[in-house]
């Protein structure tokens, strides 16, 4: 997404993290674009295990919990964001002293695949949208012979450049999917099909809507 925006606008794109309830951006990228520096003068960030509510160590994945430090009208104390991420342990080479976080995605969007691996739809989106000719996609999941079966429906900008193997490779290299296919053998080899431009609009284009999970009864 960043590369597409930068190419289109001929401008550098920086990622920011925030939410309406907190009224502000909580963290943002520096020129290194490797994690987001937390605005620690205004926010205190903790990472917790979403199941137990206990704090977890820097470097481990957990739910991001935010406390506002400078708001007087409506302070929020230990506000649970339902976003998953981790605090980066190393100092940033840019020299800023503020801690850095990486955001992985929404906890409630997570899908369970194969032998119980958790997968964020945003990882699939990042991998597939890194292929320049992919305009949009949907991934349908169902179950056959006790295995998860993925069917990736791809809408491309230019039919001449389609490379079936390349698309498959971008899906298989996701560790959770790779493990399911080759180690636990709980996922069958994904299939890829192509559709005409604009045929995927009907599904909506919000993050999460691109994964159509038909395994649920």
CB of 30 to Zn ion, least distance (A): 3
Of 96 and 207, which has the nearer Cβ to Zn ion?
96
CB of 37 to Zn ion, least distance (A): 6
Of 32 and 49, which has the nearer Cβ to Zn ion?
32
CB of 6 to Zn ion, least distance (A): 19
Of 30 and 56, which has the nearer Cβ to Zn ion?
30
Q: Which residues bind Zn ion (CB under 5 A)?
A: 30, 32, 92, 94, 96
CB of 41 to Zn ion, least distance (A): 16
Q: Distance (Å, rounded) from C-alpha 48 to C-alpha 128? A: 30
CB of 211 to Zn ion, least distance (A): 32
CB distance 22 to 64 below 8 Å = no
CA 69 to chain centre: 28
Of 35 and 62, which has the nearer Cβ to Zn ion?
35
Element of type H or E holding 111: strand 111-113
Output the CA–CA distances (angstroms, integers) from residue 215 to 74, 106, 108, 114, 120, in the order listed: 42, 20, 17, 12, 17
Which SS3 state, helix, strand or coil, does residue 40 take? coil
Output phi, psi for 114, to 5 deg. Answer: 55, -125
Edge-first strand order for the sheet with 211-213 is 191-195, 147-156, 134-144, 211-213
CB distance 15 to 28 below 8 Å = yes
Of 28 and 208, which has the nearer Cβ to Zn ion?
28
């Amino acid at each position: 997404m960043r590369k597409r925006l930068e190419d289109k606008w001929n401008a550098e794109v920086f990622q920011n993290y925030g939410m309406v309830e907190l009224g502000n951006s909580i963290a943002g990228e520096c020129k290194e674009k490797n994690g987001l520096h937390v605005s620690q003068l205004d926010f205190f960030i903790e990472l917790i295990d979403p199941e137990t509510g206990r704090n977890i160590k820097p470097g481990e994945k957990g739910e991001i919990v935010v406390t506002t430090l400078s708001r007087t009208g409506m302070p929020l104390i230990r506000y649970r964001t339902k976003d998953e991420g981790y605090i980066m342990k190393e100092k940033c080479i840019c020299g800023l002293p503020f801690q850095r976080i990486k955001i992985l995605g929404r906890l409630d969007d997570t899908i369970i695949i194969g032998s119980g691996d958790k997968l964020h739809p945003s990882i699939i989106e990042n991998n597939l949208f890194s292929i320049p000719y992919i305009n949009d996609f949907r991934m349908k999941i169902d179950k056959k012979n006790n295995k998860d079966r993925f069917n990736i429906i791809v809408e491309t900008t230019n039919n001449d450049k389609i490379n079936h193997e390349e698309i498959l490779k971008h899906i298989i290299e996701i560790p959770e999917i790779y493990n399911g296919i080759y180690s636990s053998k709980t996922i069958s080899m994904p299939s890829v099909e192509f559709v005409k431009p604009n045929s995927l609009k009907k599904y909506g284009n919000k993050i999460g809507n691109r994964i159509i999970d038909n395994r649920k009864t």
